[in-house]
Amino acid sequence: MRRATFSPRRAPGVAQSDGHASRFVGRRAALSRAAGEIKHVAFSARGFTEPPLQLGAQLRYGYEQLWRAAYYRLCFGGSTRLARRWGDAVRRLEAELKSGDAPRPQSVWEAEYGKAAWRNLARLEELNRYSVIAGSIAFLKQNGSVLDVGCGEALLLSYLGENIGRYVGVDLAQAAIDRALRRHPAASFIQADAQIYVPDQCFDVIVFNEVLYYLVEPMAALVRYESRLAPGGFFIASLYEKSMRARAIRRKIGARYRSFCELRVSAHGKSWSIHMFGPKPPRRVCASLRRLLFSAKPKAPL
């Protein structure tokens, strides 16, 4: 049997007659190539191609997320020129990164609902969130009217059952409305942009179930929907816990509205916060001032 021998590849520029130098340089080149291949395989296993590209991508991603977080902490919802320009830049960045908690064009929603990309909302891990929303409506506003903004396939209506009197679902994607009609043929659905849609009736409960961070101006939309709340009505909003945009929206809601209840539900490592809130009662400063000035008893003379 012929014995196998190892002959390292000769490095370029080394003469054939110089055997010792050729073997040394060849082995060093082979080791260098092997180290490069090991490094390439290690980075490829993590989803990257080359170490320099990985480092640059990580640094850029970290800077972009820091810049985005600073906007949501400092300028979100502001009306100054800086806030508007910063917000426009952040929205362009979110569109480039395809962030999961940022506004999307209608074409994206149509494509996703067309291929049933949101069927995961019907899984068991979503039971807690939907049950809390539906149970709150059934307990506080039994036989009341519900406007489901961003209804999708109307899964919430499946949980509500017969506990409500009137239901209207609104969604941007016609593909979502078609699926909702197949699920609930007798219900009322409207294809419209929630950012500019104005209902023609008042409702006891207006629900934003995982919707507010997909609106370009969520607080402006809430202000507009206030006029469509019936007396004693309230909003219900569900927001994903780990979203920096959702955290900014929660801070704005807490500053502007009266909070009735706030719950947190978790399943399979994911958490959502569910808020029930409504407009704050008007402050009667003049009446309070009159009581303060004229209700005090005069002191007896000495």
Bigger pLDDT: 138 or 124? 138
| 71 and 199 inside one domain | no
Is 267 within the bounds of a domain? yes
Is 247 within the bounds of a domain? yes
The structure tokens listed for 146 are 């519900």
Is 302 within the bounds of a domain? no
Q: What is the pLDDT of residue 259?
A: 92
Is 41 within the bounds of a domain? yes
| 274 and 127 inside one domain | yes
Contacts of 25 by beta carbon, 8 Å cutoff, 6+ apart = 10, 11, 14
| 200 and 258 inside one domain | yes
Average pLDDT on 269-285 reads: 85
**pTM of the full structure:** 0.73
Contacts of 104 by beta carbon, 8 Å cutoff, 6+ apart = 214
pLDDT above 70 for 39? no
pLDDT above 80 for 288? no
Per-state percent for the chain, helix, strand, coil, to nearest 5: 50, 20, 35
Q: What is the pLDDT of residue 287?
A: 58
For residue range 249-263, list pLDDT tens digits in order: 999 999 999 999 899
| 129 and 44 inside one domain | no
Length of the chain: 302
Q: Would you state the torsion angle of the CA atoms of residues 234, 240, 244, 246, taken in this order, to the nearest 10 degrees?
A: -10
Under DSSP, the state recorded for 197 is -
Q: What is the pLDDT of residue 179?
A: 93
Over its C-alpha atoms, the chain yields an Rg (Å, rounded) of: 30
| 138 and 267 inside one domain | yes
Range of the domain at 35: 24-100
Most confident of 11-15, 82-86, 122-126: 82-86
Contacts of 231 by beta carbon, 8 Å cutoff, 6+ apart = none
| 59 and 159 inside one domain | no
Task: Give φ, ψ of 88 to 5 degrees.
Answer: -65, -40
Is 8 within the bounds of a domain? no
Under DSSP, the state recorded for 141 is S
The structure tokens listed for 149 are 């903004």
| 135 and 70 inside one domain | no
| 85 and 145 inside one domain | no
Q: What is the pLDDT of residue 102?
A: 86
Cα distances from 301 to residues 20, 47, 295, in angstroms, run 119, 88, 18
Is 11 within the bounds of a domain? no
| 43 and 148 inside one domain | no
| 70 and 205 inside one domain | no
> Residue with structure tokens 């307990």?
139
Q: What is the pLDDT of residue 285?
A: 54
For residue range 114-128, list pLDDT tens digits in order: 888 777 776 777 788
Average pLDDT on 259-284 reads: 87
Q: Is-contact 117 138, C-beta < 8 A?
A: no
* pLDDT level of residue 4 (50, 70, 90 thresholds): very low
Cα distances from 13 to residues 36, 42, 52, 278, 295, in angstroms, run 22, 31, 29, 80, 105
Bigger pLDDT: 101 or 197? 197
Is 266 within the bounds of a domain? yes
Q: How many domains does the chain have?
A: 2
Q: Is-contact 213 101, C-beta < 8 A?
A: yes
Q: Would you state the torsion angle of the CA atoms of residues 59, 61, 63, 64, taken in this order, to the nearest 10 degrees?
A: 160
| 127 and 263 inside one domain | yes
For residue range 47-72, list pLDDT tens digits in order: 444 444 476 777 777 778 888 889 98
Q: What is the pLDDT of residue 229?
A: 96
| 194 and 251 inside one domain | yes
Q: What is the pLDDT of residue 7?
A: 43
Is 285 within the bounds of a domain? no
